[in-house]
Amino acid sequence: MSGAMLYGFCSTVLVGLGLYGLIVHPELLRKILAFNLVGGGVFLLFGVIARRGAAIGFGGDPVPQALVITGLVVAFAATALAVALLLRLFQETGRAILQSDKLTDAPSDNSQP
Amino acid sequence: MTNSTTAGGFLLVLAIVLPVVGVLLSLALGGRQAQRVAFVVMPFELAVAVAIAARIWRTHEMLQYSVGGWIPPLGVAFRADGLSAVMIVTSALLICGIGLFARTQFAAPRGAETRAPLMFWTLLLAVWGALNVVFIGGDLFNLYVALELLTFAAVPLVSLDGRAETLAAAFRYLLFALLGSILYLLGAVLLYGAYGTLDIVLLSGRIHAQPVTWAAISLMTAGLLAKAALYPFHLWLPPPMPALPRRPVHCCRGWSSKRRSF
Amino acid sequence: MAFDAGLAVLVLGVASWTIAARDTFAAVVGFVAYGLLLALIWVRLAAPDVALTEAAIGSGLTGGLLLGASARLRRTESLAVGEKPAAALRAATIGLCILVSAGLAAIILLLPEPAPTLAALAAANLVATGLGNPVTAVLMAYRAIDTLLEVVVLLLSLLGVWSLTPDHLWGSLPSPHYRADSYETVTFVTQLLAPIGILVGIHIFWIGSVAPGGEFQGATILAAMWILTMLSGLVDAPAVNRRWLRLLLIIGPVVFAAIGLAGFAMAGAFLAYPTNHAKLLILIIEVPVTLSVAAMLTLLVAGPPERSSHR
């Protein structure tokens, strides 16, 4: 099982890395990327827990594995919505970052890329 | 507490299935019918909500339903007690109110299908269904899926008018909501790793104070608070329409974070 | 063990590259590579169904989506340079993240041994479902409500993407128009690959009842083939107000919910299956769900409508 524990630590580092990217990057697309890393880490942790639950000739506990599959699909749906929102925001404001102050004075750039 | 289906538990299933069917019908029939579909679903769904509350009031017992006949920990259970009944009826009344109030603003157009009416009525029904899953869900992962459903239904409602400010607000909302859900999921994952089940009632029996439990509960609370703390962002949203659905969302999140404290 | 250590280090290295790279496009490429390596880790964790899903959806479709977005947003890179946070904030964030990772790692070490598991329960009830793959049994039988809600979540995110269309473009076609040129490599590859890909997708879906695979993995491959034919210009994107498209999108969840409701009569509960017909019913659900999910995934990658004609 020590191989599984190794991947468990890998997952915690992924969560930390993703959290760093989420906070530090101003570009929204990088934030979305970093968020996917956090999600990957959490799912990996669930997978490690599944591996620890191996029994009855199964390589792992099937319940967490199935839940990770559901989670991966939901994460993709979230990414797709976030990307669409980001591209629309770019169309309306011409920038792909969130201003910390008001957005109302941003010049509108409606030209298609 | 036995983990089996009580009489009348099927009402819990209806409370979730009706709005979902409404969403599917709206999409299939096209935008001009979306408002009509919503107005057909609303009275039935309100009736189901009242029936659930009436049943719990009469029998003074929790309503339970083991979906698919599979009993937790392998299966998923729906449960409704007095508090859930209050939340279900409140959100039903709120959503019906919103629907009546908005019927002119998002009225079905005479010509071809247009974006805003189709989206508003469909997303409103989806928010309703998601809220009901949150109120009656008895399984932590089921709740995670319900919270994501709620987020995906609520975010486009915020940005429905397509202006730059609402788009930015919607993106901020989405990012915080996603972060909140993933923290919540992390807590749920740790609880499964420690106790081998995601069912709330079974967990409350098995759980005991240890570092894993504290970590899991703080993560889940932090995640839910991150979603509830979004309310201040909407104070500056000018149009009142998209902001109205936020209220049931946030009162439910405040409630569900209280529910987490075992 | 050495292989596991090497793989873990490699994954972390590529993930760090994804965070640290200056150019967003390079970061996304790194992300795709990270996803494929992650799929290898899933194989090492004895979860082949998850490995398939991670490679197809987590790395493939998500990567495609992000690559397209980063290409469109290339011009904004220089605008963001002035917004980068100060070194002090970065240092504080690094500290916070190290704390979080270390805390999580400590918690993981405290997880109970032997680990609690539902494998025995899942195995014991497998016969009643008529399936040979326990993961599929969890997805389609024990926790079918999660799968039903998940399909609804996918549909909702598609609705959300569509809701971002400018009003005057409503009802029209998503994605830019790609013209098919029979001398282009992508056209040639698509003409070769698409039929094979469709067969592979159907096979992976079919085999999911007894071996690793299933509807989501199969649907992703079908979606990938559709996207490929759209990218090469051989097929144009469908307009979002087409009736057939709407019906294709909802047929999966409708059949799922219908059979679920029929479960009241047939087996006494919502989403319950009578024992001797379980496998057949699950199959009847899975076929339209696979088709619907394939359509949803394709349209999610295609994005909101942005042009009004086939030109």
Question: Chain C residues with CB inside 8 Å of A95's CB?
Answer: 76, 79-80
Of C112, C166, C250, the CB nearest to B24: C250
Residues C18 and C102 in one domain: no
Nearest to B149 by CA among A38, C154, A83: C154
Nearest CA distance, A10 vs chain C (angstrom) = 6
Looking at the DSSP bridge assignments, the partners of residue C305 are C174
Each residue of C160-177: pLDDT tens digit? Answer: 999 888 877 776 666 666
pLDDT exceeds 70 at position C38: yes
Range ranked top by mean pLDDT from A30-39, B27-36, C182-191, C226-235 = A30-39
More confident residue, B105 or C247: C247
Residue C142 has pLDDT above 70, yes or no: yes
Burial B193-225 (b: 16+ CB within 10 A, else e): bbbbbbbbbbbeeebeeeebbebbbebbbbbbe
Name every chain A residue with its beta carbon within 8 A of the beta carbon of C212.
none
Chain C: residue nearest B114 by CA? C170
Q: What is the pTM of this model?
A: 0.91
Q: Is residue C78 part of a domain?
A: no
Q: Which of B164, B175, B182 sits opposite A92 (nearest CB)?
A: B164
Mean per-residue pLDDT, B249-262: 48
C-alpha distances (whole Å) from B33 to each of B233, B245, C36, C154 are: 33, 21, 44, 22
Q: Is C79 within the bounds of a domain?
A: no
Q: Given an 8 Å threshold on Cβ–Cβ distance, is B193 in contact with C253?
A: no
Residues B1, B66: contact at Cβ < 8 Å? no
Q: What average pLDDT does the segment B135-162 reach?
A: 90
In this prediction, what percent of chain C has a pLDDT beyond 90?
51
In a domain, residue A57? The reply is yes
Span A44-68, average pLDDT: 90
At A103, is the pLDDT very low, low, confident or very high (cuts 50, 70, 90)? very low
Q: Structural domain of residue A55, as residue ranges?
A: 2-93
Chain B interface, best mutation among C109, C149, C151, C251, by max B CB count within 10 A:
C149
Shared domain for C125 and C42, answered yes or no, is no
pLDDT at A31 over 80: yes
Contact B3, B66 (CB under 8 A): yes
Would A42 be classed as within a structural domain? Answer: yes
Instruction: Decide which of C73, C98, C127 is a domain's last residue.
Output: C73
Q: What is the mean pLDDT of the segment spanning C203-220?
A: 90
Q: What is the pLDDT of residues B170-186, one digit of tens each?
A: 898 899 899 999 999 99
Contacts of B144 in chain A (CB under 8 A): 71
Q: Is residue C88 part of a domain?
A: yes
Listed residue (B113, B107, B87, B135) closest to B27, CA to CA: B113
* A109 in any annotated domain: no
CB contact under 8 A, A29 and C73: yes
Nearest CA among A62, A28, A24 for reference residue A46: A62
Residue C305 has pLDDT above 70, yes or no: yes
What is the residue extent of each domain of chain B?
Answer: 10-259
Q: Are residues C165 and C278 in the same domain?
A: yes
Please enumerate in sequence order all residues whose Cβ is within 8 A of that of A102, keeping only pairs 6 or more positions apart, or say none. none
Judging contacts by C-beta atoms under 8 Å, the chain B residues touching residue C156 are 23, 123, 126, 149, 152-153
Q: How many domains does chain A have?
A: 1
Taking CA atoms, what residue in B is nearest to A33?
Answer: B175
Chain A segment 15-54 residues within 8 A of B by beta carbon are 15, 22, 28, 31, 35, 38-39, 42, 45-46, 49, 52-53
pLDDT at residue B241 greater than cutoff 70: no
Mean pLDDT over residues B240-247, rounded? 47
Task: Quote the tokens at residue B62.
Answer: 């929790």
| Chains with 3 or more CB pairs under 8 A to chain C | A, B
What per-residue confidence (pLDDT) applies to A112? 38
Q: Tell me whether residue A106 is in a domain.
A: no
pLDDT for the residue numbered C258: 93
- Is pLDDT above 60 for C71? yes
Rounded to 5 degrees, φ, ψ at B137 are: -65, 135
Instruction: Tell me if C24 is assigned to some domain.
Output: yes
- Report chain C's mean pLDDT, rounded to a whole number: 88
At residue B52, the 3 state secondary structure works out as helix
**Rounded mean pLDDT, C190-204:** 91
Residue A8 maps to which CATH number?
A: 1.10.287.3510
Query: DSSP readout, chain A?
Result: -HHHHHHHHHHHHHHHHHHHHHHH--BHHHHHHHHHHHHHHHHHHHHHHHHHT--TT-SS-HHHHHHHHHHHHHHHHHHHHHHHHHHHHHHHHS-SB--SS--TTSPP-----
In contact, B152 and B170? CB cutoff 8 Å? no
What total number of domains does chain C contain?
3
Closest CA to C143 of A38, B55, B78: B78
SS3 C265: helix
Classify residue A102: in a domain, yes or no.
Answer: no
The alpha-carbon gap from B61 to the nearest alpha carbon of chain A, in Å, equals 30
- Is A98's pLDDT higher than 80? no
Identity of the residue numbered C49: D
Position B36 scores a pLDDT of 85
Question: What residues contact residue B107 under an 8 Å CB cut-off, 6+ apart?
Answer: B35, B117
Rounded (5°) CA angle C213-C68-C155: 50
Chain C residue whose CA is closest to A53: C117
Amino acid (1-letter code) at residue C244: W
Chain B residues in contact with A34 (beta carbon < 8 A): none
Does residue A112 sit within a domain? no
Q: Is A58 within 8 Å of C134 (Cβ atoms)?
A: yes
Does the model's ipTM exceed the 0.95 cut? Answer: no
**C140: nearest Cα among C80, C95, C205:** C205
Which residue type is seen at B74?
L
Considering only residues 146 to 175 of chain B, which have any Cβ-Cβ distance to chain A shorter than 8 Å?
148, 151-152, 155-156, 159, 162-165, 167-168, 170-172, 174-175
- Beta-carbon separation of B27 and C246 below 8 A: yes
Single-letter amino acid code for the residue at C147? T
Spell out which residues of chain C touch residue B119, defining contact as CB-CB under 8 Å: 159, 162-163
pLDDT confidence of B243, banded at 50, 70, 90? very low
Rounded-to-10 torsion of CA C160, C161, C162, C166:
110
B79-108 average pLDDT score = 85
- Give CA–CA dist C131/C125, Å, rounded: 10
Does A63 lie at the interface with B, CB-CB under 8 angstroms?
yes
Most confident option among A74-83, B40-49, B226-235, C72-81: A74-83
Band (C80; pLDDT cuts 50, 70, 90): low
When pLDDT is cut at 50, 70 and 90, the band that residue C275 belongs to is confident
Measured between beta carbons, which residues in chain A are less than 8 angstroms from residue B182?
A: 35, 38-39, 42
Residue C311 has pLDDT above 60, yes or no: no
The predicted-structure confidence for C3-18, as pLDDT tens digits, reads as follows 899 999 999 999 999 9
DSSP string covering C165-201: S-GGGTTSEES------TTSHHHHHHHHHHHHHHHHH
Range of the domain at C27: 1-73
Give whole-number Cα distances, C247 to A113, B24, B164, C114, C296, in Å: 33, 9, 33, 49, 12
Q: Which helix (H) or strand (E) holds B65?
A: strand B63-66
Own/partner long-range contacts of B144-147 (Cβ < 8 Å, ≥24 apart): B144/A71, B144/B181, B144/B184, B144/B185, B144/B188, B145/A70, B145/A74, B145/C146, B145/C149, B145/C150, B145/C153, B146/C149, B147/B177, B147/B180, B147/B181, B147/B184, B147/B227
Question: For residues B144 and B254, which has the higher predicted lDDT (pLDDT)?
Answer: B144
pLDDT at A104: 34
Query: For chain C, percent helix, then strand, then coil, each to nearest 5?
Result: 75, 0, 25
Same domain for C194 and C301?
yes
Of B125-134, C26-35, C259-268, C289-298, which range is least confident? C259-268
- Confidence at residue C180, expressed as pLDDT on a 0 to 100 scale: 66
Contact B193, A44 (CB under 8 A): no
Same domain membership, residue C150 and residue C110: no
Alpha-carbon separation of residue A80 from B64, B256, C65, C68, C134 (angstroms): 36, 27, 7, 11, 30
Nearest to C69 among A17, A72, A83 (CB): A83
Average pLDDT over residues C213-236: 88
C99 CB-near residues (< 8 Å, 6+ apart): none
**Rounded average pLDDT over C184-204:** 88
pLDDT band at B252 (very low <50, low <70, confident <90, very high): low
User: Quick check: B167 and A86 in contact, CB under 8 A?
Assistant: no
**Residue carrying structure tokens 């991966």:** A72
**Shortest CB distance from C121 goes to which of B65, B66, B73?**
B73
Does any domain span residue A108? no
Residue C257: inside a domain: yes
pLDDT over 60 (residue B158): yes
Confidence of residue C84 (pLDDT cuts 50, 70, 90): confident
**Looking at the structure, do residues C241 and C296 belong to the same domain, yes or no?**
yes
Q: Which of residues 3-62 of A touch C (CB under 8 A)?
A: 3-10, 12-21, 23-27, 29-30, 32-34, 36-37, 40, 43-45, 47-62
Q: Determine, yes or no, domain membership for C108.
A: yes
